[in-house]
């Protein structure tokens, strides 16, 4: 079932006209409503009248996560805060988190793209959805919730965690659809096996998984273990939350809802577009958002795109799975982690800059584990065990406070962490996705 047949199967030429009309309106809108964009466009020397169609989009300046941080909390809103009906928060690179807001119409848009996503994954009105994405400041839980309400599902707002209860609900209510991070789905499988359940007899027909990178082999494994169709969803709070792109049951890439989120794929070094099919950084312009519309937002996600027809009939371009990042962000248990956040904590604790390294690991079917190695240099060293223990505990507590996930801290000898320029030495990702 296609939720919005007219839009989702629109011939590409018509889609382009719609995008052009919307982009022209958007640029006028932000120029009038957002002091940030007015200044940015003036500085770039672009007037709203220069933008006549979607092909002019490359004249527009980029927006980055740093812009969001520098205008914390509401400086990138194009409307006064009171016009927003909901606010969500995700992690920032350093210091301040990323704040986004939604007007009533933005929530309608979110519901619409999530309804499209659910249908795209194979949901039918009347299906029962077990939503195990976290509810709260994270956009995962509520995004699915709104979409489910819009398309007529029955939603169980389980949120993340409490695995035994999740499995009991699955056994007793027989939900048709599961939504959560892919690693949590595998974690549930292990827990189920320990409880003596036959996962192949699980009730979920469809799984919708996202908020962290995962591979095709992990997808196949989930399908095999749970006897379900596993699909991939893409999104980020800056754009809307989940519902930017969704894989259909043909699994030939994720349909990106380009009538509202206009995608470009660029070379991150030259900022120039790359030919269709080539890897590059995904850049998205939100064509119709009101509270916090973004021009050419640098997602830092590396993908490639295709406009080739899909057997499902949807015409929107499709992105590949995320192939990497152009920055050093890592996703752990659905939470975005930047090494710079760790750096900030360490600097705050002792006023020094000890060498550190993040080691991320995932044992088979277990949740991601984060270990932070901190070199004990002369400045933070104490010859008293009590002090060293307190230091270890303090680092752990403060990092957990900033990241909102559990970590282990390991104090290591000076000069034992490999030195090299760039991000490689800061993060060791041992996960096999």
Partner 1 sequence: MAIQITVFLENRPGRIQTIANILKEKNLNILAFSIQDRGEFGLMKIIVDKPEQARLALSERGMACAAKPVFAITAADRPGNLETLTTALAKKNINIKDAYGFVSPADKQGICYLEVENPQGADLGRLLAEYGFTLIADKDLYDL
Report the interface residues with partner 1, using CB under 8 A: 376-378, 381-385, 388-389, 410-416
CB of 389 to partner 1, least distance (A): 6
DSSP letter string, 12-65: HHHHHHHHHHHHHHHHHHHHHH-HHHHHHHHHHT--GGG--SGGGGGGSPPB-H
Residue 114 main-chain phi, psi, to 5 deg: -75, -35
Beta bridge partners of 256: 245
CB of 403 to partner 1, least distance (A): 20
DSSP reduced 3-state for 204: coil
DSSP 8-state secondary structure symbol assigned to residue 163: H
Nearer to partner 1, 364 or 385 (CB): 385
CB of 373 to partner 1, least distance (A): 10
Nearer to partner 1, 216 or 408 (CB): 408
Nearer to partner 1, 53 or 414 (CB): 414
CB of 342 to partner 1, least distance (A): 18
What is the spatial distance between Cα 362 and Cα 234, in angstroms, rounded to a whole number? Answer: 22
CB of 354 to partner 1, least distance (A): 10
Nearer to partner 1, 365 or 410 (CB): 410
Beta bridge partners of 235: 242
The helix/strand count (H/E) of the chain reads as 11, 21
**Which helix (H) or strand (E) is 410 found in, with range?**
strand 408-412
Nearer to partner 1, 294 or 372 (CB): 372
Nearer to partner 1, 173 or 381 (CB): 381
**Under 8 Å between Cβ of 98 and 91:** yes
Residue 328 main-chain phi, psi, to 5 deg: -100, 20
Nearer to partner 1, 265 or 380 (CB): 380
What is the spatial distance between Cα 129 and Cα 141, in angstroms, rounded to a whole number? Answer: 12
Q: Which residues contact 294 (CB under 8 A, 6 or more apart)?
A: 63, 76, 238, 239, 284, 285, 286
- Pairing verdict, β 408-412 and 356-361: unpaired
CB of 371 to partner 1, least distance (A): 10
CB of 408 to partner 1, least distance (A): 9
């Amino acid at each position: 079932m296609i939720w919005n047949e007219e839009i989702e199967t629109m011939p590409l030429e018509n889609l382009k006209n719609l995008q052009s009309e919307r982009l022209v309106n958007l640029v006028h809108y932000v120029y009038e409503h957002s002091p940030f964009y007015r200044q940015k466009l003036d500085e770039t020397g672009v007037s709203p009248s220069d933008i006549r169609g979607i092909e002019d989009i490359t004249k527009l300046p980029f927006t980055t996560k740093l812009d969001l941080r520098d205008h914390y909390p509401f400086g990138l809103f194009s409307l006064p805060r009171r016009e927003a009906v909901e606010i969500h928060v995700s992690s920032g690179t350093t210091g301040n988190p990323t704040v986004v807001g939604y007007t009533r119409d933005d929530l309608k848009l979110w519901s619409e793209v999530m309804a499209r996503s659910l249908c795209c994954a194979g949901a039918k009105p009347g299906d029962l959805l077990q939503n195990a994405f976290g509810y709260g400041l994270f956009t995962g839980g509520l995004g699915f919730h709104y979409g489910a309400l819009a398309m007529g599902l029955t939603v169980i707002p389980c949120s993340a965690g409490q695995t035994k209860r999740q499995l009991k609900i699955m056994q007793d209510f027989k939900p048709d659809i599961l939504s959560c991070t892919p690693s949590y789905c595998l974690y549930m499988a292990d827990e189920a096996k320990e409880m003596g359940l036959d996962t192949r007899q699980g009730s979920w027909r469809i799984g919708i998984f996202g908020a962290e990178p995962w591979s095709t082999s992990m997808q196949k494994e989930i399908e095999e273990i749970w006897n379900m169709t596993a699909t991939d969803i893409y999104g980020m709070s800056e754009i809307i939350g989940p519902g930017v792109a969704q894989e259909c049951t043909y699994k030939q890439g994720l349909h990106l809802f380009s009538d509202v989120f206009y995608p470009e794929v660029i070379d991150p070094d030259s900022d120039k577009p790359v030919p269709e099919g080539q890897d590059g950084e995904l850049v998205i312009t939100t064509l119709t958002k009101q509270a916090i519309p973004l021009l050419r937002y640098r997602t830092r996600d590396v993908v490639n795109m295709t406009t080739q027809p899909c057997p499902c009939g949807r015409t929107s371009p499709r992105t590949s799975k995320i192939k990497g990042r152009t920055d050093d962000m890592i996703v752990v248990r659905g939470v975005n982690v930047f090494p710079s956040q760790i750096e900030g904590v360490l600097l705050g604790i002792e006023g020094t800059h000890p060498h550190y390294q993040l080691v991320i690991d995932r044992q088979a079917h277990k949740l991601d584990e984060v270990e932070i190695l901190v070199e004990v240099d002369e400045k933070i060293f104490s010859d008293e065990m009590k002090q060293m223990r307190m230091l270890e505990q303090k680092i752990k507590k403060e990092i957990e406070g900033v990241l909102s996930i559990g970590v282990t801290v390991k104090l290591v000898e000076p000069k034992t962490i490999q030195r090299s320029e760039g991000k490689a030495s800061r993060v060791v990702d041992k996960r096999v996705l």
